[in-house]
Structure 1
């Protein structure tokens, strides 16, 4: 059973905050609850609900019980994009072997950093689709990618060219024709927490924790035209269990696995 989600505003809402709240209400078919000087925790407890706060220029998502909000910000993506633009190696892109014009399906969108890198490489002739199982996370990221104000190029162009879809990855894959995406990518929530990734703790609490399965991998192989790529903790059994060739990175706590078509 899905937990109720309510929408509220910042403590002192202005017209922009009220408009954002109304947009979220329509998109998520959620009830707007007046803030009335109440804390987010108080609202979450009183309504036994997740809370989306419409601030003055962004949304913050407090999953029930979360201490910190999840919100969209492309900081890590901007850093990684600058490195790629300088010609430096990016492990994700090496594993995916993306080319200009390719199509890329990210089955586990999260905050969208990997999709941004993919969008940069495939360009306007390519196609990047990100799936997110949690409806609220999908809403936050989709809205952020379409509205985040940045003068940094190519970051803005990359964000605008990504299609975000709220969907269960396995069900979505089952509906796609065979060989319909060049690369299918999967980055499920790690079975083991990587302590250095503390900035993703809010997402870890808010997002859907879906374990990789044989059915998921089989469908990914069917839909992929070139390769399937898995990102997982270096101690994960998924690589060997599902037949991925591991790209071992001795200095990293996560590895990429590849199934070449």
Structure 2
């Protein structure tokens, strides 16, 4: 991977790109008037582009750009702030002051909702094994600004770690979190949006294993939650109680603990 600036280069963009280069150990390349496609053809790698309004990745093997976009989370957040029920919050039984570990954070939609639900006295940690997705999400949560300050604060409170979830789980003390959550890529595709497809290009095949689930049950004080396609056999295979939702193609599963 390399990082460069948007076409209209400013000293501020150069400083931003160089800071990201140092923080994430990505080579910085001056734009020098070249198109992103020309840079991809020459360097044969994915390219991070630091723009005025957003950071995005132009993938070597995908025509669509990947960038942070909390749009769906914002819709859910507005409902939650109106005291309407969110299925994830209800299933995980999230309350103020609780701690949540999101083992497959992706673009952090569920982590943002969890952060809203647990409030400033709780905390949410998100794990991402893909370096590309980790950088996009970590920077997005720090810099994205909505018109809702409560939503912005919820994003800022989330801590993102670039690590495979099994490795992280093994390092944690018993009962370290109230809730441990898994949202692996579905075997059955239910969303053909460009955003999700672009994320799939970079996502790791980081499916929960029996070992990971056992570690999750060890460190979760209250429950382990799984989100998956309604046809998935992971619910029964791993011992989750499947919460069926008539109008949805994905369901939640729960393992209640102490």
Normalised to the residue count of structure 1, the TM-score between the two structures is: 0.94
The residue number in structure 1 matching 2:196 is 200
Find the residue that maps to 1:228 and give its secondary structure: strand
The residue number in structure 2 matching 1:95 is 91
C-alpha root-mean-square deviation of aligned residues, in Å?
1.4
Contact 1:128–1:161 (CA<8 Å) still a contact in 2? yes
The residue number in structure 2 matching 1:163 is 159
The alpha carbon displacement at 1:36 in A equals 3.0
1:244 aligns with 2:240: yes
The residue number in structure 2 matching 1:227 is 223
- Aligned partners of 2:145 and 2:14: how far apart in 1? 19
Find the residue that maps to 1:35 and give its secondary structure: coil
1:24 aligns with 2:20: yes
1:120 aligns with 2:116: yes
When structure 1 is superposed on structure 2, of 10-19 and 40-49 the one drifting more is: 40-49
When structure 1 is superposed on structure 2, of 237-246 and 147-156 the one drifting more is: 147-156
Contact 1:229–1:257 (CA<8 Å) still a contact in 2? yes
Find the residue that maps to 1:140 and give its secondary structure: helix
* C-alpha spacing 1:253/1:67, structure 2 compared with 1 (3 Å): same
The residue number in structure 2 matching 1:80 is 76
Contact 1:70–1:206 (CA<8 Å) still a contact in 2? no
1:43 aligns with 2:39: yes
- Aligned partners of 1:68 and 1:16: how far apart in 2? 26
The alpha carbon displacement at 1:9 in A equals 1.1
The residue number in structure 1 matching 2:250 is 254
When structure 1 is superposed on structure 2, of 23-32 and 219-228 the one drifting more is: 23-32
When structure 1 is superposed on structure 2, of 179-188 and 40-49 the one drifting more is: 40-49
When structure 1 is superposed on structure 2, of 67-76 and 36-45 the one drifting more is: 36-45
Aligned length in residues: 257
Contact 2:64–2:194 (CA<8 Å) still a contact in 1? no
Gaps of 5+ in 2: none
Find the residue that maps to 2:208 and give its secondary structure: coil
The residue number in structure 2 matching 1:56 is 52
Structure 2 counterpart of 1:68, from 60, 64, 71:
64
Normalised to the residue count of structure 2, the TM-score between the two structures is: 0.95
Cα deviation per residue 1:56-97 (whole Å; 9 max; x = unaligned)?
Answer: 132101232111111112211111000111121111111100
Contact 1:16–1:57 (CA<8 Å) still a contact in 2? no
When structure 1 is superposed on structure 2, of 64-73 and 123-132 the one drifting more is: 64-73
When structure 1 is superposed on structure 2, of 33-42 and 23-32 the one drifting more is: 33-42
- Aligned partners of 2:37 and 2:190: how far apart in 1? 27
When structure 1 is superposed on structure 2, of 131-140 and 197-206 the one drifting more is: 197-206
Find the residue that maps to 2:3 and give its secondary structure: strand
- Aligned partners of 1:34 and 1:102: how far apart in 2? 45
* C-alpha spacing 1:221/1:197, structure 2 compared with 1 (3 Å): farther
